[in-house]
Amino acid sequence: MRYSFITPRPKKIVTPELKLVFFFFAMTLFILFATYGFLLYKSHQFSNEVTAINQRITDTNRSIVMMQKEIAMIKKSAAHFQNIATSNTVLKDSIKNLFDLVPERITLSKAVLEQNALILYGITPNKEVYEFLLQAPLRSIFHKTYSDFYPLENGWYRFVSTNYLDEEAL
Amino acid sequence: MGLTRVFERLYAKVYVVIVVLKEKVDVSIMTVHGENSTVSRVEFESSQIASALHDYVQEAIAETPFYYIGVLNNGINQGAIPTCHRHEASQYADISLCKTLCIRGSYMLYSSKYELDTIEKMFQSFGVDFIFSPFTLLERLYKDKIDTKAQLYVLMYEEYLAMAIFQHSTLLFASFELVDSGTTDTEFDDKGEEEAVVFDLEEEPDEDGISIDDLDALDDLSDLEDLDAIHELDDFTDETPDFSASSDTDTDAMEVIAPSMEDFGISYQHFLVIQKRLEAYYKDETYRSEFIENVYIADAHDSSDDLKRYLEEELFLNVVIRHVNIDDELLTLSMEEVQYAL
């Protein structure tokens, strides 16, 4: 039962001085935790960036390997194409030289170029023309030369000239 | 709220009770921490309220925020009336400028707002949490007896005297008095003034003769002859007039007696006040009058042996005296009030 003419004052545990101390402590803690949080966020961000960079490095390395492989393939292809071009050039020159070898009086009907052989089909007015004007240069180029003649009705000869290069000499 | 409970367990509770008397101030401090409690008491001179008392209390309450300051209200403009309704209170006392407190829906304590403010300002340096009425103490001291027939209960501490009549836990009458041994007659200037003729030695006798009231008063004076103390006192010489013939005594003779009343001591002053208030109670039709046979006196300063004799021999009352420690009662009351307030 209430027996007092006045009511007791509320008892405050926290005095104004204590409030001030708590405020400064709270501010200090807030700043500490804010700094800690900021550093934590930045660290996490840097960690993510490092992971991303590492991933990019891995991807780049993988790309480099693939590109090196491609480069090797391209180089290989280029060399192959170079060889082909060279071969073609040689072949072209050979064909040109071959056709340059053929005198006007002999007519070629077919020419077969193989790796180590050249087979010529044509018509010659006579065997001497063939032997002096065509067979002689062919002999200087190929190691083995064989000629076969087939007489035609008009007195000319169809010939087949087979020429070989020795593989050992190459 | 829960946090406050936790802190209450951590901190000690300090209960301070202050009883302001005429020339000194009693301060009791109880420190309660868990199951342990210590009590210290110090008396200060009235002039030390602003300095030594302040420092003493501040030192006691500095360690904890849970301190409670209780003050016993000694304002003379206080009392108790047997109703809790303000519209009925005006027939007992003017409480327009008073703060009131209804107790158990049975009776009302009142005290002057000005005096309560004065108490709060007196101790404003550390504040006041409780202001208790002496009637509250009186009821608590005799809570096991007030539920019986009409009996008078008196609380005496130094020059203060609180008296109340309870019947079946219902207040019938109450009065609070400041008994000043040097100015006793000035205390009888209120509503019972018409009965004060017994001690109003300056009043001239009625020219027309003696009224019925005066005869009653004369009876009271004749009772004084039975006081052994009066016969034993050296001051009462042969010049002492015959009280039985007081109606024929002139004023000069009575003036010789009047100063000697101070020599009876504070107990006699208390007796006079009690007698006066009982007369007022019996004669005032405002109060429900019941015959009083027993008086229970709670005496805080062991000064009631003579008073008991006066009451028994003069008013034929059965007197039971109990020595009490007001400070302890106030501390207990403060602790209970704190529990109630929380």
Looking at every residue in chain A, the average pLDDT score rounds to 89
Do A83 and A136 reside in the same domain of the chain?
no
Rounded Cα–Cα distance for residues A67 and A61 (Å): 10
Q: What is the pLDDT of residue B186?
A: 38
Residue B69 has pLDDT above 90, yes or no: yes
B166 shares contact with chain A (CB less than 8 Å):
no
pLDDT band at B22 (very low <50, low <70, confident <90, very high): confident
Are A35 and A58 part of one and the same domain?
yes
In this complex, the residue of A8, A12, A15 whose CB is nearest that of residue B129 is A8
Interchain pair A4, B132: CB under 8 A = yes
* Confidence category of residue A15, pLDDT binned at 50, 70, 90: confident
Q: B67, B101, B120, B334: which to substitute to probe chain A, counting the most A Cβ within 10 Å?
A: B101
Q: pLDDT of B130-178, one tens digit each? A: 999 999 999 989 988 888 888 999 999 888 899 999 999 889 999 998 8
> For residue range B297-320, what is the model confidence (pLDDT) as tens digits?
998 877 667 888 888 888 888 899
Residues A139, A163, single domain; the answer is yes
Residues A48 and A85 in one domain: yes
Q: Are residues A41 and A68 in the same domain?
A: yes
| Domain-located, residue A3 | no
Helix orientation angle between B305-314 and B266-283, rounded to the nearest 10 degrees: 40
**B91 exposure class (CB count in 10 Å sphere: 0-12, 13-18, 19+):** exposed
Last residue of a domain, one of A56, A80, A101: A101
Tell me the pTM.
Answer: 0.58
Tell me, yes or no, whether A113 lies in a domain.
yes
Is residue A2 included in any domain, yes or no?
Answer: no
The structural domains of chain B, with segments of one domain joined by +, span 144-324
A110 in contact with chain B, both atoms CB, cutoff 8 A: no
Identify the band that residue B339 occupies on the pLDDT scale cut at 50, 70 and 90. Answer: confident
3-state secondary structure of A120: strand
A34 assigned to some structural domain: yes
Residue A9 is assigned to a structural domain of this protein: no
Indicate yes or no: CB of B341 within 8 angstroms of CB of A7. Answer: yes
- Does residue A47 share a domain with residue A67? yes
Q: Give residue A164's domain range.
A: 103-170
B116, closest residue in chain A (CA to CA): A5
Helices (H) and strands (E) in chain B, counts: 11, 13
Q: What is the pLDDT of residue B181?
A: 58
Residue B40 has pLDDT above 70, yes or no: yes
Residues A122 and A90 in one domain: no
The predicted pLDDT at position B225 comes to 45
In this structure, what are the phi and psi dihedrals at residue B167, rounded to the nearest 5 degrees?
A: -135, 120
Would you say residue A22 lies in a domain?
Answer: yes
In a domain, A10, yes or no: no
- Inter-residue contact B253 to B201 (CB < 8 Å): no
pLDDT at B231 over 50: no
CA atoms within 13 A on the CB side of B21: 20
Average pLDDT along chain B: 76
Quote the number of domains for chain A.
Answer: 2
For A129-145, how does the pLDDT look when each residue is reduced to its tens digit (9 = 90+)? Answer: 899 888 888 888 888 99
d(CA B10, CA B64): 10
The CATH code that applies to domain B144-324 is 3.30.420.40
Residues A24 and A95 in one domain: yes
**Minimal CA separation from B341 to chain A, in Å:** 7
Is residue A114 included in any domain, yes or no?
yes
pLDDT confidence tier of residue A64, bands split at 50, 70 and 90: very high
Higher pLDDT, B240 or A47: A47
Same domain, A117 and A94: no
Q: Which of A101, A116, A148 is the last residue of a domain?
A: A101
Residues A27 and A73 in one domain: yes
Q: In this model, does residue B125 exceed pLDDT 70?
A: yes
